[in-house]
């Protein structure tokens, strides 16, 4: 029998007949290999994501602790003892914070004039002032706050007492009058009552924040959040080398604070749903006069 098809077409048909698809076994093997590779890749990506999440959560927690510390230390280091602490508990402290220092120029029957050293304008311009404290002959500060009134004074009143007010310094008058035991040149400072407190956050619902409250200006500021429930204050008292958990009955015996700032991350862990924590512990001691 004679094949009437041209030879090129015969070759093409033979090639088509020689081709075949994947068998079922080959397809299954291919899918298994792809699944193994895909699973390994997915597992690596999940592990990497958890690693970066853990790193980020730890960094957030440390930043919370450090941010709180930077704000608090500048004020707590200026607190004097005794009589610097007005109230204390494991989650809050109220302290007398000096914000302007100077010397007594002199007194009249109605007011005393003080020459204040140059200070940060922000410290001067904050609202609220509770009173003043003058240093007596024993080196302790006596606080005066009843019916306190602060008003501008005259540089000439200090010049008469041979006291020069420095550039950018200020002269003020205060009432009640500084006691007669204080002579011109006696160190004096003005102070505010500041409360630091751990409480519910307004920025992050359901979390804990550190608050700073100016009690004499009736203002409050949420400094940083969130904190773990273990964040707290501890207390150093006279005669002790370690801190104690509870404030003593006699607050004048407090010589410093131990700050346990357990910062918490904003995000939770992917696998546990729990935020990371980073506890920063440090101590700040007051300007002791005993």
Per-residue pLDDT of the chain (290 residues; tens, 9 = 90+): 455 545 555 555 555 455 566 677 777 878 888 888 888 877 777 766 666 666 666 566 666 667 777 778 888 989 988 899 999 999 999 999 999 999 999 999 999 999 999 988 777 788 889 999 999 888 889 999 989 999 999 999 999 999 999 998 999 999 999 999 999 999 999 999 999 999 999 988 888 999 999 999 999 998 888 888 999 999 999 888 899 999 999 999 999 999 998 888 777 766 677 787 878 888 999 886 55
Helices (H) and strands (E) in the chain, counts: 4, 15
Residue 11 lies in a domain: no
Q: Are residues 252 and 112 in the same domain?
A: no
Q: Are residues 222 and 132 in the same domain?
A: no
Q: Are residues 181 and 228 in the same domain?
A: no
Residues 6 or more apart in contact with residue 107 via CB below 8 angstroms = 113, 177, 178, 180, 182
Q: Are 211 and 221 in contact (CB under 8 A)?
A: yes
Q: Print the domain residue range for 158.
A: 94-192
Q: Are residues 99 and 187 in the same domain?
A: yes
pTM equals 0.78
**How many domains, in total, are found in the chain?**
2
Q: Are residues 279 and 201 in the same domain?
A: yes
Q: Are residues 106 and 188 in the same domain?
A: yes
DSSP-derived letter for residue 117 is P
Q: Are residues 108 and 240 in the same domain?
A: no
Residue 178 lies in a domain: yes
Q: Are residues 65 and 136 in the same domain?
A: no
Q: Are residues 60 and 134 in the same domain?
A: no
Last residue of a domain, one of 171, 192, 213: 192
Last residue of a domain, one of 130, 163, 192: 192
Dump pLDDT digits (tens) for 258-278: 999 888 877 776 667 778 787
- How far apart (Å, rounded) are the C-alpha atoms in residues 93 and 86? 8
- How far apart (Å, rounded) are the C-alpha atoms in residues 256 and 81? 9
Q: Are 236 and 283 in contact (CB under 8 A)?
A: yes
Residue 36 lies in a domain: no
Last residue of a domain, one of 156, 171, 192: 192
């Amino acid at each position: 029998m004679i094949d009437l098809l041209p030879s090129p077409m015969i070759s093409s048909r033979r090639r088509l007949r020689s081709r075949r698809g994947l068998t079922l076994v080959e397809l299954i093997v291919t899918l298994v290999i792809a699944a193994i590779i895909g699973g390994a890749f997915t597992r690596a990506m999940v592990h990497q994501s958890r690693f970066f999440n853990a790193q980020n959560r730890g960094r957030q927690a440390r930043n919370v602790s450090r941010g709180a510390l930077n704000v608090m230390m500048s004020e707590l280091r200026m607190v004097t003892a005794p009589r610097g602490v007005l109230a204390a508990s494991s989650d809050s402290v109220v302290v007398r914070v000096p914000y302007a220092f100077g010397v007594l120029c002199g007194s009249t029957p109605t007011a005393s004039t003080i020459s204040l050293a140059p200070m940060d304008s922000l410290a001067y311009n904050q609202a609220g002032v509770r009173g003043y404290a003058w240093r007596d002959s024993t080196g302790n500060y006596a606080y005066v706050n009843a019916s306190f009134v602060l008003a501008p004074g005259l540089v000439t009143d200090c010049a008469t007492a041979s006291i020069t007010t420095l550039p950018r310094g200020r002269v003020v008058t205060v009432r009640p009058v500084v006691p007669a035991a204080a002579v011109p040149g006696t160190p004096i400072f003005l102070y505010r009552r500041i409360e630091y407190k751990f409480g519910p956050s307004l920025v992050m619902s359901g979390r804990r924040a550190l608050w700073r409250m100016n009690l004499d200006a009736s203002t409050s500021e949420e400094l940083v959040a969130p904190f773990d429930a273990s964040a707290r204050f501890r207390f150093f008292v006279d005669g002790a080398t370690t801190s104690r958990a509870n404030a003593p009955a006699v607050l004048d015996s407090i010589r410093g604070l131990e700050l346990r700032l357990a910062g918490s991350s904003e995000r939770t862990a992917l696998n546990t749903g729990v935020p990371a924590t980073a506890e920063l512990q440090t101590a700040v001691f007051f300007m002791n006069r005993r």
